[in-house]
Structures are given as C-alpha cells and as structure tokens.
Amino acid sequence: MRTFFRKRRQPDTLAPEFDTPQPIPASGSAPYNAQRRHDPLMPEPSGLRMDGPMRRHDDRRNGPIVPERSPSAGPDDEMPRFAFPVSNGMRGALVSGIEPEVSKALREAFTPTRPKKEVNALFIGRLGTIRRIISAIEEERAHVVLYGDRGRGKTSLANAVEQIAVQAGYLPSKLTCSAEMGFEEMFRTLLRRIPAGYYRGDAGQPYIHGRTTGTFDERLPPGPFTVSQLAEVLDEIAGTHVMLVLDEYDRLVNEDVKNKLAELIKNLTDKGSPVTLFIIGVAENVDQLLGKHPSIQRALVAVHLPPMSDREIERIILSGSEVAGITFTPESRRIIVSLSKGLPYYAQLLSLHAARGAVARGSREVQRTDMTEAVKRCAEEAERGLIEAYHRVIGEGHGRTADVLYLAAQAQSDAFGSFLQEDLLAVPLQPGERHPPPEAVASILDQLAGGPYAVLERVILPGGHRLRFRNQMMRQFVLLMQAERRGVL
C-alpha cells in the first residue's frame, strides 16, 4: 500500500529536567574503593554487574537492589524482575536471553494489546472497509458507525481512517469513551481540540485562519447546554471539515447520552454542517450501539468489520517477521492461521509469544515447539470469564460436549460469526475420528445455547435460526484449549 501521509510537525516541548549525574570515579582509584567498602549500593563503573544469572542495573537512585538468587534455590524461588531495567528513559541490560533491541523489535512488530497508530507495512488488509468509510464521509456526507466483535482491529482501522483524513485536510478530534461520561463532558473535550481560528466569524466578514485564539469549547455556554446550542456552535466551523471520533462507544451506559447524540446527528445533517461523527464500538448491530432511532437512519452509514481472511492473517505474520528480523516456518504460520480464525488479536498474540520463545532459545526461526509453548501461554492468560465458562460447560472430562464445542469453533461461519448445525458435520477430522450422530449434536447444541451457563446463542432468522458464540473470543479459546489433543500442534 502506498505511503499516505506527509510528516506532521510536532509541537515544541520542554525536555524534562533531571538531576545531573555525578561522574563515577575509576574503579582502581583509592577513594572509589574505600567508598565501596562503606557503601555496598554504590554502582560499579559501568553501572552494570554480571556476577549473577542476569545483568542488573545497580543504580542507587532506582531503589534497593533485589538480591540475586541463591545457587540452591529452585526456579520458582527467584524474585521476579521487570524484563528491561530503565535508566534515564533508556532500556538496559540483557535479560532472559533476549537482547533489548530484539525484544523492542518484537514489540513493535506484533502488538496484540495496542492498536496500530500508523498506516505502514504493519497495517494489513481492510482496504475495502477503508474505501467504504471514505466514500460515506466524502461522497455521501454521512456519519459513520464502525461496529463488530472485540479483537477485530476496529481502533486500528479507525486510526488509519483518521490519518488518511488528515492528509486530505480534515481536522479530527478523537475521544475514547468511558461508562460514566456525560454528553456535556464528551463534547467539551472534543471541542477543546478544535482551534477557534476555524470560527466563521461575524456575518459578512471574510474568514481569516488564525484570527481568533482559543478553542471551540469556549463558545459553548459555561454551564449545561442543549443539543441545539452545540449544533449551532459546530455549524460555525469554516475552513476545514471536522471529524469527531468517538471510540469504544459501547462502554457508554447512559441512555440520555445516546438519545442526545442521535438528536445531534439529525441536527448536523439538517444544517449541512462541516462535521462528521465517526463512532466505533463493539456490537452485533447498530441498534445495539446507538439505540433505536429511525429518524437518523438516512444520515448514517453502518460499516460492519468482519473477521480477516486467512490470507490477511498470514500477511500479518509475514510483515511482522520482516520487521522483527525473524522467520516463521510454514507449519508455524499454518498453526497461527488455523487458531486465530480471522481475529488479528490472536494472530498477533500467538506470533509474539512464539517469536519470543524462538529468540530465547537462540534461534531466529519460529518452529513447532515454539508454537506449543505459545498456545499454552495464550490459553493460560485468557480472560477469566472465558476459562470459567469453558470448564463449566465441558465438566471434568473431554466427552461428547467437548467434541461438539470444538466442532462449533471449527465450523464455517459468516461475517457475523454465526453458523448452522449442519456446518459442524462438515468439519474435517483427524484420521480415526468420527463425527457424533446428528441427533446428539442437535441435543448438545441446545444445551450449549440454553440455561444460565450457555456459551452459544441463537440468531433468529425467517424460517429458522443460526448459532453463534456469545463471546466471539470463546471460539479461539476452545481451539487453544484443544489444539494439542486434536493434533493441531
């Protein structure tokens, strides 16, 4: 994908002030040796010691030193440490067999817990979705709702759209929502990031950028304000097109905020204001995210983010491996693709753990053994709710319920993660395995989709229903838990 953006000028900032470090005397000097006899915390000349199982940064300003492990202690008796000591903002020593530069490269290449902030070689796929969003904003002058299940990369995609919009002259203002946030707080924060220089000015006066100082929130009433008053202020924007980005909108629980937002969308559309609302959240449909508001349907374009294709998941692995300077064997890539099931979060997480395992054993090639350990770690570190729900369902053993749950996780599903009962019987099995009888599958699916501990839910359709996991990440968790038993590893 071509480079979209020019470099943006960063505001000048003052460097933080630090105490000027005092020079450390040479190790052979008498004053130094005498001082060390009376001060065991005094660092050696290099600031690093290599007399234990790992290097330590023995800087007395960073607090007391954690004692080295006793030679007779077991592996579980060693005091935990941060992986990389920090000194004046710089990463420190070699720990656990992974050089700091290598670990940094891995963290930049595979980011399961951090959305992508830039459109670069690590941003993979989703081009069709980006084109649809741009078309909705630019050609249809509509507001956009991006929704889908957790872990599909919605925030990363929204960041990409935001950067592309900046290149075209749009002015984005982004806010991550929280459960307790009110309508006034939300929009005061957003308008605080819009320079008042974009105010249209008095009637009949030509627009001159930069004439007015301050920000747009100053043009709101000092106390509570109405939706109409907010719309009037936004309608005075000139010289740019503002994109108000509301991320994690699903966290909002205040129905009054949702009702006011719907009213604002209608007002902005009726006025033709140069403002676009871009709303992102976890949801199965738009009504679940915004509520039922038929009056704004014509002003909205809803964009659902489906799972990634196997090809896109493999490109994530290959692009990350190039950045990190490591390789994944074809078998290890196949395992990651099959277990991720289109979810970039798990593709990044498995790749990161497997790559760290390979580097820790002194290799730059991820192999099957690294995948085995990575899968175990991902399963152990999953959400507690997933772990508990899984074990409640299958019980103590791995009987027929576990088999049906595995088939449901492997079943071919649509863009919304739903499948039919017959899709389970089409899942290929290992040699020697047989599908449960159809009537047994139907009975177990009914149990999995009903009761207080249900992990599946029915999606009612004309003439029948489909099934989907209540928590879509349960699909990948089931595959992780049963990977070794099913011959995936």
- Distance, first Cα to last Cα, the chain: 34
Within a 13 Å sphere around the CA of 444, how many CA atoms are in the beta-carbon half? Answer: 20
Mean pLDDT of 234-243: 94
- State whether 344 and 276 are in the same domain: no
**In the 8-state DSSP scheme, what is residue 114?**
S
Residues 6+ apart with CB under 8 A from 377: 353
- Report which of 54, 66, 58, 57 is spatially closest to residue 98, judged by C-alpha positions: 54
Summarised one tens digit per residue, pLDDT across range 384-409 is 999 999 999 987 767 899 999 999 99
CA distance 120 to 105: 15
Last residue of a domain, one of 249, 271, 304: 304
Note the pLDDT of residue 324: 86
Same domain, 396 and 375: no
Number of domains in the chain: 3
The stretch 434-439 carries a mean pLDDT of 91
Strand 464-469 to 456-461 pairing: antiparallel
> Are 361 and 408 contained in the same domain?
no
Task: For residues 300 and 332, state if they share a domain.
Answer: no
457 inside domain: yes
pLDDT digits (tens, 9 = 90+) for 311-338: 999 999 998 888 888 999 999 999 999 9
pLDDT-derived band at 115 (thresholds 50, 70, 90) equals low
pLDDT tens-digit map of 56-89: 444 444 444 445 555 555 555 655 655 555 544 4
Q: Who has greater pLDDT, 439 or 62?
A: 439
* Domain closes at, from 321, 346, 380: 380
The residue out of 359, 380, 401 marking a domain boundary is 380
Say if CB 479 and CB 410 are below 8 A apart.
Answer: yes
Residues 293 and 157 in one domain: yes
Specify whether 403 is located in the same domain as 370: no
Q: What is the CATH number of the domain that holds 475?
A: 1.10.10
The CATH number of the domain where 376 resides is what? 1.10.8.60
**Percentage of the chain modeled with pLDDT above 90:** 53
Cβ pair 285, 147 in contact under 8 A: yes
Domain range holding 459?
386-482
CB 358 within 8 A of CB 335: no
Question: What's the CATH number where 233 sits?
Answer: 3.40.50.300
Would you state the torsion angle of the CA atoms of residues 36, 38, 41, 46, taken in this order, to the nearest 10 degrees?
-10
Given a cut of 60, is residue 371 above it in pLDDT? yes
Q: Three-class SS of residue 15?
A: coil
Q: Are residues 153 and 189 in the same domain?
A: yes
- pTM attached to this predicted model: 0.74
Considering the domain architecture, whether residues 337 and 457 belong to the same structural domain is answered as no
The per-residue pLDDT for range 158-174, each reduced to its tens digit, is 999 999 999 999 999 99
pLDDT per residue as tens digits for the range 340-370: 999 999 999 999 999 999 998 889 999 999 9
Same domain, 258 and 327: no
For residue 135 the two structure tokens come to 């078309």
Residues 335 and 405 in one domain: no
Asked if residues 47 and 58 have their Cβ atoms less than 8 Å apart, the reply is yes
Does 300 reside within a domain? Answer: yes
From 115, 168, 120, select the one nearest 2 (Cα to Cα).
120
Question: Model confidence over 11-63: pLDDT tens digits?
Answer: 444 434 334 444 444 444 444 444 444 444 444 443 333 344 444 444 444 44
Looking at the structure, tell me whether residues 145 and 280 fall in a common domain: yes
Q: Which of 207, 206, 225, 228 is nearest to 217 (CA)?
A: 225
